[in-house]
Amino acid sequence: MRRVAVIAVPPVTTFDLSIPELVLGATTVDGRAGYAVRVCTAEPGPVASSGSFQVTVPYGLEIVADSDTVIVTGTGARDDVDPRVLEVLRSAADAGRRVASICTGAFVLAEAGLLDGRGATTFWARSEEFRRRFPSVDLRPDVLYVEDGGILTSAGLSAGIDLCLHLVRSDYGAATANIVARLVVAAPVRPGGQAQFIASPLPPETGTSLAGTRAWALERLREPLTRAALAAHARTSVRTLTRRFLAETGLSPLQWLLHQRVELARELLESTDLPMDQVAHLSGLVTTDSLRRHVSRRTGLTPSAYRAAFTRRRAGG
């Protein structure tokens, strides 16, 4: 079981604070809990929220020392953070622990100096403030989450769900993460580079959603789908299809197809012993070279190394 310490910095954003427990707490591996999630703060007890009520936090910061992952959730305190919180975050990073933030929790990581020279994101509405205060951070305000050298940051609110699902996927594999996504009734697992908001949403009169076309494509990933084929199914032009795909998913049609194919390949690598050429064919990546290139780019592991790592992890509990 992996131990997770969630640091509440008052005034806490209660939605953000609930996400690690809801997502990581729903993770089971071979019938056992995948994570032990505990919430802590500098002064245990009642903690003010950004809303009209208080939450009670039972643990102090000492639990961070024996945690594998430390998560700071959203807070209204972006320039007056308790020095004890900053120190414990620095110590956790120095000890090689995985450190993450949700929403404006990125301000806390930046205040602790953990984001200097790194890529990071935060809630888009606070991006200009963040950029002014922390110019040494490579801020990427238009993505859902960023992972850079063991430090992870996510955009606002529901992007914290995407971040936590990414943690599950990194720890236990794509199949487990997809099960958790269904359990928490989340959208299909989205890539970190997906846009966190749509600046120019399509007006209502542009037509129906492309959800039906995406579902149709998911059943045919092994086929050589093109933008023209997707547009024909949606009964629209390629240009309109591309515009709607960007509005609904944050990705172009071909980017979306590639993401789904890599996710399918990962599930096949984890759950079957099919030869690599069959995994490439069934996932629509076509060749073993393409499979190797895209899986390595997504995971940092070759397909065979990915299969060995996650198959052992599942079998060994």
Rounded distance between C-alpha atoms, residue 22 and residue 183, angstroms:
10
pLDDT at 193: 54
Rounded distance between C-alpha atoms, residue 224 and residue 184, angstroms:
32
Cα separation values, 316 from 52, 92, 253, 306, Å: 46, 27, 38, 15
Q: Which two tokens stand for residue 124?
A: 């888009």
pLDDT at 250: 77
pLDDT at 314: 47
Which residue positions in the chain have pLDDT lower than 50?
195-208, 312-317
Residue 207 neighbours by CB distance under 10 Å: 12
Please, are residues 121 and 141 in contact by the beta-carbon 8 Å criterion? yes
pLDDT at 207: 39
pLDDT at 187: 60
pLDDT at 203: 31
User: What is the DSSP code (8-state) at residue 49?
Assistant: B
Rounded distance between C-alpha atoms, residue 288 and residue 115, angstroms:
37
Closest CA to 122 of 71, 159, 68: 159
Please, are residues 141 and 199 in contact by the beta-carbon 8 Å criterion? no
The residue behind tokens 């110590």 is 91
pLDDT at 191: 56
pLDDT at 196: 47
Please, are residues 140 and 146 in contact by the beta-carbon 8 Å criterion? yes
pTM over 0.75: no
